[in-house]
Amino acid sequence: METNYLCRIMEKKIIIAVDGYSSCGKSTLAKDLARELDYTYIDTGAMYRSVTLYLLQNKIDIGDVVAVEAALAHINIEFVKNEVLQRCETYLNGQNVELLIRSPYVSHQVSEVSTLKIVRSFLVEQQKTMGLERGIVMDGRDIGTVVFTDAEFKIFLTADVDVRAQRRFDEMVRKGVSITLDEVKANLEHRDHIDTHRAESPLYKADDAIMLDNSILSREQQLRLVLNMARKVIERVNVVA
């Protein structure tokens, strides 16, 4: 047992990049992987949502680059572990905004904000700093193509838009958000278009990423499949090392 413990301590850790479309379960998969591997999970989507929330709350025109740049200087984003719920929650300038950033109020604007080069540069630098220690699982839309192009393991998630809309709708209903399924689907299709057509870091699969359509996979099936692949990559990296 002591030998196994020492092996885990000495094991070379990797960076796992999880990219894909909205409501494909990127965060769910990334959280599950981080838990199973004892890695750190970083929710980049929450970072973009936090910036969006700040701009909206302070009535800052996203078309005014100077105003947006000035606002970024006043934004501090942290992930704090909730010991009761055993999960990391998003804090914006010291305030827990985990629920606020998931609201339609923010969802309808986050894709537009994420197209801004100044915002992406601001957050990408923070994300790269977070990855210096390695042993992380990070999800988003440009993790494997921009943030960590050298990540040892990259997954690109996709799923049928109707499946994604239903998943997102069910999640929002559980949180008490009043919205229709048609509204959720329209929002997803709008975000997909923006994410894949934006000039700055558009969403696409990295050449060395593994494409996974999880339309008919359960959470457990998806985790088992990807975890097995991740462990093989970690084993290969450590053999080479």
- Pairing relation of β-strands 87-92 and 95-96? antiparallel
Q: What is the pLDDT of residues 183-226, one digit of tens each?
A: 999 999 998 998 899 888 889 999 999 999 999 999 999 999 99
pLDDT at residue 9, rounded to an integer: 56
Q: What is the pLDDT of residues 119-144, one digit of tens each?
A: 999 999 999 988 888 899 999 989 99
Residue 116: pLDDT band with limits 50, 70, 90: very high
pLDDT at residue 83, rounded to an integer: 77
What backbone phi and psi angles, to 5 degrees, belong to 199?
Answer: -75, -35
Question: Strand runs (DSSP E) across the chain, as ranges?
Answer: 15-20, 40-43, 77-82, 87-92, 95-96, 136-140, 153-158, 210-213
**86 φψ region: left (φ > 0), alpha (ψ -120 to 50), beta (else):** left
pLDDT at residue 47, rounded to an integer: 95
Selection from 194, 6, 206 nearest residue 114 by Cα? 194
> What are the chain's domains?
15-231 (3.40.50.300)
Which residues have CB under 8 Å from 213's CB, separation 6+? 158, 159
Q: Within 13 Å and on the Cβ side, how many CA atoms surround 75?
A: 25
- Give the span between the Cα atoms of 180 and 173, in whole angstroms: 9
Average pLDDT, the chain: 91
Residue 108: pLDDT band with limits 50, 70, 90: confident
pLDDT at 20 over 90: yes
Higher pLDDT, 107 or 53: 53
pLDDT at 86 over 50: yes
- The residue-averaged pLDDT of 34-42 equals 91
Which residues have CB under 8 Å from 209's CB, separation 6+? 17, 19, 144, 154, 155, 156
Q: What is the pLDDT of residues 52-75, one digit of tens each?
A: 999 999 999 999 999 999 999 999
- Give the span between the Cα atoms of 48 and 234, in whole angstroms: 29
- Cβ(65)–Cβ(118) below 8 Å: yes
- Count of CB atoms within 10 A of residue 166's CB? 15
pLDDT at residue 80, rounded to an integer: 83
pLDDT at 160 over 90: yes
Gyration radius (Cα) of the chain, Å: 18
What backbone phi and psi angles, to 5 degrees, belong to 16?
Answer: -115, 120
Higher pLDDT, 50 or 102: 50
40: helix, coil or strand? strand
Selection from 102, 162, 115 nearest residue 141 by Cα? 115
What is the pTM for the complete model shown?
0.81
- The residue-averaged pLDDT of 98-113 equals 90
Percent residues over pLDDT 90 in the chain: 70
Which residues have CB under 8 Å from 134's CB, separation 6+? 13, 14, 15
